[in-house]
Structures are given as structure tokens and as C-alpha cells.
Chain A
Amino acid sequence: MAERASILSRTIATPVILGLLLTAIALLALLMGSGPFNQTIIDIFIRVILVVGLYIFIGNSGVISFGHIGFTCLGAYMTAWLTIPPPMKKMALPGLPGFVLEAKLPFWVGVPAAAIFAALIAFFFGKILMRLSGIAASIATFAMLALINQIYSNWEDVTGATSSVVGIPINRSIWPYFVATLVAVAIGYAYSISRSGLALRAARDEATAAAASGVDIPKERLRAFVISAFVMGGGGALYAHSVGVVTPDTFYLGLTFISLSMLVVGGMGSLSGAVIGVVLLSTIIQILRLFEKGVALGDTVLTIPNGVQEIAIGVIMIVILMRRPAGIIGNREVGWKGLRKA
């Protein structure tokens, strides 16, 4: 009997290829050199982080979560609390505890702190939610999103309620976002080849048989939930630093819909699907946005009505679900010789 190659050596091609794809995107931004395009690339990186975060939980557990953008909200506000200059904080958010009000931390501390905070909150929510399965679990995660949104929309002196929290230090270089995206992909890959990832995919296929194989399903789900919340929280913090402003409604239904769409279109069951779904849909969104603003063709300016972008995403999602329910990539991962089984 031949000794089997290790799981790492059989699958390492996937994160390497995805890393190269992301590097190519970063280099593209470097070549273009313009401000607005840079911002577009940063947006893509942040979305990759969010969708990879979703993949870690949804892809491996098969439980659709509508609540993960709540963790993005937690992360964005946490880094805002830690990094806004103290004088501004004292004016806008006087309810924060004293040591937070005095803190003036750099963004590279704020982002990991935000990720850890989101993971911590996920642990407490998950303790309760991970006992549920199927549609009940999905609806409960939705309730969690609404809950987080309501707290952040109403806690006037800590979150500024529905008004914008401004003064978050802006970082316009693409590199921190690029590095964070690579880290997110690495976390997603490491989880998917881990013991927990395998056990959770088994439970996704056949929960009863997984329990009969010794798998403690709520425990494995909780692990994935916490790790994915860590990534989502970090993504939220990076978002905050990319625009400098946060409001609770930035992290609500709109972002939930678009990030879930990207995951579904690319392929829920695979890390490659998550990354490729983002790149593909982001490109389409960018092109449609351009047309919404108007594109000059000779003498005439071609414009499409506002909202076509969202409509197009909806249509693409429905078509994909009809034609390829497992997404463009399906349950496979990219490898050197094309696609292989995940």
C-alpha cells in the first residue's frame, strides 16, 4: 500500500493560486496608479475578506447565516472606538469607558482587536445558536443581525446611534488590505483542511451519520462560527479605515445581500468559489456603476438608470441558482491542473 501524500501537499495549490490572483489585482492597481481605482481595488479586497469569512462558516457547515454582517458591524465600530482621536471621541461618543476615550491606537492594533472582539461576541451568540439546524438556525442568525443593528442604531452616546461616526483614521494604501486579504484566505484554507473543517463538512452532508462517527456537531459549528466572525470583524474594521466613516446601516441588509450573492455565485462549498465570486461580481458591479454615471460614446452619453446594478446582481444570482445551484466553481477548488474536488 503506497503512503498517501499529506493533505497539505495535495491541496496547497489552492491558496497559492488564489494568492497569485490577488497579487495580480494588487499589481493592476499599482499600474493604474489613480486614486479612485485604488479605492475600487481596496473595496474588492475587503469584499474578499468578508466573503471568505462567510465561506468558513456557511461553506463548511451548510448552514446559511444571514447574521455575519453583524460581526462586520462589531468590528468596524470597535476599531472606530480605539483609533478615533480622543478629542473627537469625547465629543461624539461620550458614553465610552474612560480608558477607551483616552486611547489613540494605530490602525494595525485596532483591526486585530476588532477581529478578536467580533470572535468573542460570536462565541456567546454561538453557544446558543449552534444548537439549531437548518432554517431555524438561519432565521436565528438573522435575528442576531437585527439585534446588533438595533443596539448600534440606538445606543446614542456609545455608537452615535444612526448618525455617522467620523474621524476614523483613513488608510489609502492598498498594501494593508492586500496583506489582510491574504491572511483571510490563509485562515479559510487552514480551516477547510483542519479536522474541524472535515468533521463539519461531514455534518453538512449527513448530520445523523456525523454524530454516529463521533462528531460533536454543535462544538464544530461553534469553532467555525467564531473563526468566521474573527475574519468578518477584521473585514469590518478594514472597511472603517478605508472610508473613515461608519453608520449601523452600512452593515445591514444591503451588505448581507451582496456578500451572500457573491458566495452563492462563486460556489458556497469552496474557498476558490468565494474568492472568484467576489472578483467576478465586483467587476460586473464596477462596469454597471460606470454606466450608471454615464459613458461617453462619441457624441452621445450612454447612461443606464440607477438601481440596474442591484437588479443585475439579483438576476445573475437567480440564473446561477437555476443553472448551477452549486455556483460557478461548485464544490471544487482550483489546482494546478484545473479544478479538483474540494
Chain B
Amino acid sequence: MAQTLAADMVSVAFEGLRALSDVTLEIPAGRVTGLIGPNGAGKTTCVNVLTGFQKPSMGRVLLDGQDIGGLPAHRVRQAGIARTFQSGRLFADLTVHENLEVTGVGLGLSRREASRKADALLDWIGIAPLSERLAGGLPYTDERRVAIGRALMLEPAFLLLDEPAAGMSAEEADDLSRLIHRIALEVKCGVLLIEHNIGLVLKTCHSIYVLDSGEIIEFGTPDAIKASEKVRHAYMGTQTDAEGEIL
């Protein structure tokens, strides 16, 4: 299993507009790394680059030192880098079980093997009772957990979670935090957690990157990030005071 996923001096420009500038970050295996930043800082673009949905204009994406920057998204997943999406994006007309099965099939398993893995994983996450429900009709929180399950099929080396707690209550976010820890510990995944819920990030992550206007402005442990003047400034400058006080 791969040990590190890294962005090396990655820049992305959309028609002259710079979404990311010289971003360098590293996601180690078995740990939870956070990525925070104000709206429009380039967090999702960063995930898109790391998962093959966006080609970097400059720089490299390295999986254990090997450049995977040009691979299409399905090949990146086959290489062991999984992701979820902000909007869930479940296969609405398929059952929960089939949603997971698709990943198994996409990674080369037979339907029978994929089906077995899907059942085991649904059990592990604790959503086995949902397996025959159509994914399109699920409540928000369940949708998020199914999306994580779908990404976790066949134990990827890395899992990138794009705002998995959006819209969750404090209690649900706590459950999610526990699940993320289990993923890092038991599946030995390197997890990248992107969140607006900064409390969740501070509680869950081992180390945190802060992105502002497409640049990494700070990196450190949760305590260091809490104390950082630069981070406080970035948030105060672009967001309401109320949100700034969360730090």
C-alpha cells in the first residue's frame, strides 16, 4: 500500500485566473490531515487535482514519488486514491448496496466478489440495514456515510473527504469524527479532511494545512493552527466575525 500522496508545487489556472499557486502538501498513510480555508480558497480544486479530475497547470502530483498528475480520474482511483464529493453524488437509481458494488466492479472484481465486499463494508460502517434502499431517497446523513462507504471499497491507500460534515448536527459530526479515526486506524488510510466545520477538523486531524486564495499559508498541529495569527487574519478578513471566533 502506498505511503504518501503529495502535491509538489501545484498550480491551477482557469483562463488566466489562478485557483491554486505553488501548493505543496503531503498526506501520510494512517493519519488524518486537515485542509481548511475560507470559501473560494481552492480546497475543492486541490482535491480535484489530487484525484485526477483536474490537470495541474504546473507542478506534480506524487504517489510514493511517482507523478500521477496526468492520469484520468478512474485510473487514479484504481491506483488507490479515493474521494467523496461535497454534494454526495450517489447513484440515485441504484440501491445502497449497488452503490458500493460499483466501486468493486470498477476496480476489477466480479459482481459476486464486489457484492460480498460491499456487504462486509456496510456492516463495518454500521449501515447494513440500508443496503436495499434506493440511494436517491436517503436522508442527508446516511447519504454521506454511503458516499464514504463507496469510496472505502477495497481499502484505498488514501481517502479525500470533501466537506463530509456539511449540514450535520454536532452529534452527527461527532459520529463522523469517530468514523474517520477508525478509517485511519483500522483501514490504515491516509485521510485528507476538508471541512468548514473547524471544530471537527481541530478535533479529528493530526495536522492541518490552511489554504487562502490558492496558497498554503500555514501548516501545523491543531494547537499550532489555533494559535496562528496568519490563520486568524485569513478568516477574519474574509468571513464574518462569528465564524472567525470559532478559532
Query: What is the interface of chain A, defined by CB distance below 8 A to chain B?
Result: 1, 4, 6-7, 193-195, 198-199, 201-202, 204-206, 208-217, 269, 331, 341-342
Contacts and interface: CB of A to CB of B under 8 A. Distances in A.
A323 to B, nearest CB: 19
A195 B128 CA distance: 22
B6 interface: no
Interface in B79-112: 82-83, 85, 89-95, 98-99, 101-103, 105-108, 110-112
A212 B82 contact: yes
21 contacts: A4-B115, A4-B119, A6-B112, A7-B111, A195-B111, A195-B114, A198-B101, A201-B94, A202-B98, A205-B94, A206-B90, A208-B89, A212-B73, A212-B82, A213-B77, A214-B74, A214-B77, A214-B103, A215-B102, A215-B106, A216-B72
B53 interface: yes
Interface residues of B, number: 40
B89 A206 contact: yes
A233 to B, nearest CB: 28
Could you say which of B105, B108, B114 has the most chain A C-beta atoms within 10 Å of its C-beta?
A: B105
Interface string B218-232: 000000000000000
B94 A208 contact: no
B90 to A, nearest CB: 7
B246 to A, nearest CB: 30
B94 A211 contact: no
B134 interface: yes
Nearest to A214: B106
Contacts of B91: 201-202, 205-206, 209-210
Contacts, number: 97
B53 A209 contact: no
A212 B111 contact: no
Given A198-B102, A214-B106, 6 more contacts: A6-B112, A202-B91, A209-B150, A210-B106, A212-B151, A214-B78
A27 to B, nearest CB: 35
A6 to B, nearest CB: 7
A202 B74 contact: no
Chain B contact residues: over half helix, strand or loop, or mixed? helix
Contact of A195 (B93, B105, B119, B153): B105
A212 B83 contact: yes
A212 B72 CA distance: 10
B120 A214 contact: no
Nearest to B81: A212
A202 to B, nearest CB: 4
Nearest to A216: B74
Interface in B26-61: 51, 53
A215 B106 CA distance: 4
A198 B78 CA distance: 17
The 7 closest A-B pairs by CB, nearest first: A214-B106, A205-B91, A211-B73, A209-B89, A213-B103, A214-B77, A215-B106
B74 A331 contact: no
B142 interface: no
B200 to A, nearest CB: 23
Could you say which of B94, B98, B108, B112 has the most chain A C-beta atoms within 10 Å of its C-beta?
A: B94
Contacts of B107: 214
B243 interface: no
A54 B116 CA distance: 32
Contacts of A204: 93
A18 B21 CA distance: 59
Given A202-B94, A214-B107, A208 B102 contact: no
Contacts of B72: 211, 216
B67 interface: no
B123 interface: yes
Contacts of B106: 199, 210, 213-216
Contacts of A4: 115-116, 119
Nearest to A206: B89
Contact of B111 (A198, A202, A214): A198
Interface string B3-43: 00000000000000000000000000000000000000000
A63 to B, nearest CB: 15
A331 B135 CA distance: 14
B223 to A, nearest CB: 34
A211 B101 CA distance: 14
Contacts of A209: 85, 89-91, 150
Given A195-B111, A202-B94, A206-B91, A217 B74 contact: yes
A154 B102 CA distance: 46
B95 A341 contact: yes
B85 A202 contact: no
Interface string B151-187: 1010000000000000000000000000000000000
Contact of A198 (B105, B108, B151): B105
Given A195-B111, A199-B106, A217-B74, A212 B93 contact: no
Contacts of A269: 93
